[in-house]
Structure 1
Amino acid sequence: MSLDRVGSFVEEEEVVRLTQQLIRIPSVYRPGVAGGNEERVARYVEALLRDMGLTVYYEEVVPGRPNVIAFYDSGRPGKTLLFEGHTDVVTEGDTDQWSYDPFGAAIANGRLYGRGACDTKGNLAAAICAVKAIQRAQSPFCGRILLCIPCDEEGMMIGIKHFIGRGWADGVDGAIICEPEENQLCITQKGAMRAIVKTYGKMAHGAMPLTGINPNTRMARLIVALEQLEQAEKERIGQHPMLGWPSITPTVVQAPVKGEAQLNVMPDQCMTMLDIRTVPGQDHQELRQKMEAILDQLAQEDRDFRATLDVIEDRPWTLTAKDDPIVQAVADSYQAITGRNPVYNGVPGATDGTFLHQAGIPIITTGAGDRHIPHHADEYVDLDQLVETTRLYARSAVAFLGA
């Protein structure tokens, strides 16, 4: 069978219907809320994959938050291709801001609306239906297709970390990360460091500040110094052609850290959370050392300056070469399906692919959906693009795994 024919076995109504079914099972993580996790949608996907004849594993990462792992084995020795698409979605927020039920999966004007339609239940459905198309076509290939369907991509990514820690990523030769990128081929993505900095002082009356030590003014100096470091990194690295500028962004400033704030009380501590985004060319360890050097310098200038820096998450930037086999397979398939040259780009944030890359797996991120729509009210996916993605996934898998 011709490689280009596998896409003709994609059933358009099937991928739309599956996307609707996934959206209608809410999977927003809400701690302490019964059913407020990914369990129901994971069980649904598990049953579907078993019905398809795949070898399926269901693993709880923490109670109520499972990963689903499934293999479609050709029975011939060869490479392993991984499709990754998470089950969790972000909160729907204020439903009054929605024109459609966030979990109703309504269709209007060629678009499917709902939380997760774009990020990323539509693309999860596309990956599953791509495997179905390969089964129907009986397309000859070697090796295995591995479906990784983890929890908690929108949080601390405990699902993919558990997947890798359990050894499931061992021996994988390439991975397609199923995220909304308008079917652009994203071969790089920003790294992320999440850090908490605290400055320490001495509580005092607001009318008599000299009897204490103000952690807030010390934090202000620190934030200004971090802004200067950000500018220095921009000048050193320059603007990345796909990812733009690196950044060091204070997102939360809080004082006091514990207890109730009061206008006439100078607190004893101040805390700032930093969302740090990096691009190729930046070394995370070196960047951390530069931040620690700022703390040391401020302490030399002010004997009352005391601060701590705690990096709570470290996600490296990724870069996959255009001539890597997984990129070539997707690029060739995109051109064959659409008749257009692929558009290469980068992911502005981090994905589960960050950790797969760190585990030594070449990754490419692509899928249906406007890349600016995730987490918005009235999130949607264009149905034509969703079907195109399903065909892209199916052909890419057969092209990568060969005959």
Structure 2
Amino acid sequence: MPLSSIEHKALASLDEQGLIKALRDLVRIPSATGQEAAAQNWLAQQMRHFGLDVDLWDIDVAELQRHPQFPGMEVDRSKDRAVGLVATWRREAGAASGRRLVFNGHIDVVPEGDRASWQYEPWGADLVDGRIYGRGACDMKGGLMAALFAIKAIKDSSVPIDGSLMVQSVIGEEDGGIGTFASLLRGHRGNAAIVCEPTRLNLIPAQAGALTFTVRVPGKSAHACVRLEGVSAIEKYLDIHRTLIQLERERNSEVEHPLLGKLPLPYPLSIGRVQAGNWSSSVPEELIFEGRIGVAMGEASDAVRRQFERTLLNLAEEDPWLRDHPQEIKWSGGQFESGEIPLHHPLVKLCQQCMVDLTSHEPVLQGAPYGSDLRLLVNFGGIPAVLFGPGDVRVAHMPDEHTESSQVILAARAYILAALRFL
């Protein structure tokens, strides 16, 4: 549809250079999960400078952990502040009428890893050939800043709106979602939400879940020269690993979901860390492995846990050592349920039309095989939500993570249209 004069005015007010500069400034502030306070404080200053109503608060993590629907976390938050941040803007200060559109973006990032693997400085925010390089540039500071500058553009344009806009800068998404969880509990809600995850500006209304687990496999130590006197926890794990690979095959054999069913592996079961032994010439008496198992669309997380535990128990029943020396299973870290809204939900159609009007191309509807804060907004908050943001998840969490500056700007333009049309 043709853009209205109001839409043209708001789009013309977008500070594209300011957006890219601010994004690079934010990327330069390290904000690994559990260490987000400095970045949150910096961003709160920017929000106040833009004239938004800012709520910056210390999250009581211990209190959150007592909640029956606590989403889990992996990092130790006993030493650093957990800071919540939400900014709201409405044309008339204090007005509470009209609808509210929420933009949700996480400011926490995964660690940079081995710097020798990076061509560019992980916290340098180098701008090279239209790409901004750095940890979090793609996942997902680009989308977060695009949302903030979209609200700023609407505010600066002085176009009339009936309702309010909110941006939630949340922590702890990478290991469970405590930032969004805390924001919802604090009352920061709306009628719909756009989660600015890197989707290449395609639309993801459905995301699978993922449950993190830690398993201890017992063995029996002995000197390597008489290793038959011991029981190697590593050898026991090899059987476990093969069994879990088979479980993954079974769980992905007949996926009928219209979006997730198109993926080559919609519900991965992955082992991410294995640690065993304490001496090179000793039979390892213990092995600990950690990983995640995917949760199918509409599947209860408890059912997945029971299937996983039953699979390992059945294996142990066939092994004399494991039968008498049980494995220890803990559901540690993030516990992501699946979440979705209908493919033809008005929010999906709205974002589709915005992209068509800006680019003449309709974005692809996709399903995500990973957990995100969408499920908290939909399942816990009762807020329709869609993943829709700049960047390609295939370069997230990798050396030389990057995002296209042009796509960040296009995302901000799409958010401007979505906000005006939603309200």
Q: TM-score range by the shorter chain?
A: 0.7 to 0.9
Which range moves more in the overlay, 121-130 or 279-288? 279-288
Q: Tell me the secondary structure at the aligned position of residue 68 of structure 1.
A: strand
Q: Distance in 1 between matches of 2:124 and 2:289?
A: 39
From the superposition, tell whether residues 314 and 8 of structure 1 become closer, same or farther in structure 2 (CA, over 3 Å): same
The answer (yes or no) to whether the contact 1:56–1:68 under 8 Å persists in 2 is yes
From the superposition, tell whether residues 241 and 65 of structure 1 become closer, same or farther in structure 2 (CA, over 3 Å): same
From the superposition, tell whether residues 209 and 333 of structure 1 become closer, same or farther in structure 2 (CA, over 3 Å): same
**Structure 2 residue 412 is the aligned partner of structure 1 residue 390:** yes
From the superposition, tell whether residues 210 and 282 of structure 1 become closer, same or farther in structure 2 (CA, over 3 Å): same
Q: What root-mean-square deviation, in Å, do the aligned CA atoms of Structure 1 and Structure 2 show? A: 2.5
Work out which of the residue numbers 72, 80, 84 in structure 1 matches 2:89.
72
Q: Tell me the secondary structure at the aligned position of residue 25 of structure 1.
A: coil
TM-score scaled by length of structure 1 = 0.87
Q: Name the structure 1 match of 2:74.
A: none
Which range moves more in the overlay, 233-242 or 65-74? 233-242
CA-to-aligned-CA distance 1:133-177 (integer Å, 9 cap, x gap): 1112333333321211012323343322322343434xx221111
Q: Name the structure 1 match of 2:144.
A: 124
Using the TM superposition, give the Cα deviation of residue 48 of structure 1 relative to its aligned residue in structure 2, in angstroms. Answer: 1.6
Q: Name the structure 1 match of 2:62.
A: none
Using the TM superposition, give the Cα deviation of residue 211 of structure 1 relative to its aligned residue in structure 2, in angstroms. Answer: 4.2
Q: Distance in 1 between matches of 2:138 and 2:403?
A: 5
The answer (yes or no) to whether the contact 1:97–1:377 under 8 Å persists in 2 is yes
The 5-angstrom pairing of residues 228-247 of structure 1 reads 228-237=246-255, 240-245=260-265, 246-247=267-268
Using the TM superposition, give the Cα deviation of residue 212 of structure 1 relative to its aligned residue in structure 2, in angstroms. Answer: 4.3
Work out which of the residue numbers 361, 370, 376 in structure 2 matches 1:340.
361
Q: Distance in 2 between matches of 1:233 and 1:56?
A: 44
- Long gaps (5+) in structure 2: 60-76
Q: Name the structure 2 match of 1:367.
A: 389
**Structure 2 residue 383 is the aligned partner of structure 1 residue 380:** no
Q: Distance in 1 between matches of 2:236 and 2:110?
A: 35
The answer (yes or no) to whether the contact 1:81–1:397 under 8 Å persists in 2 is yes
From the superposition, tell whether residues 103 and 207 of structure 1 become closer, same or farther in structure 2 (CA, over 3 Å): closer
1:365 maps to a residue whose letter is L
The alignment-based identity, stated in percent, is 29
The answer (yes or no) to whether the contact 1:237–1:282 under 8 Å persists in 2 is no
Q: Distance in 1 between matches of 2:112 and 2:366?
A: 28
Q: Name the structure 1 match of 2:330.
A: 310
CA-to-aligned-CA distance 1:198-245 (integer Å, 9 cap, x gap): 222333334445544443333322222222211111223368345442
**Structure 2 residue 41 is the aligned partner of structure 1 residue 43:** yes
Using the TM superposition, give the Cα deviation of residue 365 of structure 1 relative to its aligned residue in structure 2, in angstroms. Answer: 0.9
- Long gaps (5+) in structure 1: 32-36
**Structure 2 residue 101 is the aligned partner of structure 1 residue 81:** yes
Q: Name the structure 2 match of 1:286.
A: 303
Work out which of the residue numbers 125, 139, 147 in structure 1 matches 2:159.
139
Using the TM superposition, give the Cα deviation of residue 97 of structure 1 relative to its aligned residue in structure 2, in angstroms. Answer: 4.1
Q: Name the structure 1 match of 2:214.
A: 196
TM-score scaled by length of structure 2 = 0.83
Q: Name the structure 2 match of 1:218.
A: 236
Aligned length: 389
Using the TM superposition, give the Cα deviation of residue 315 of structure 1 relative to its aligned residue in structure 2, in angstroms. Answer: 0.5
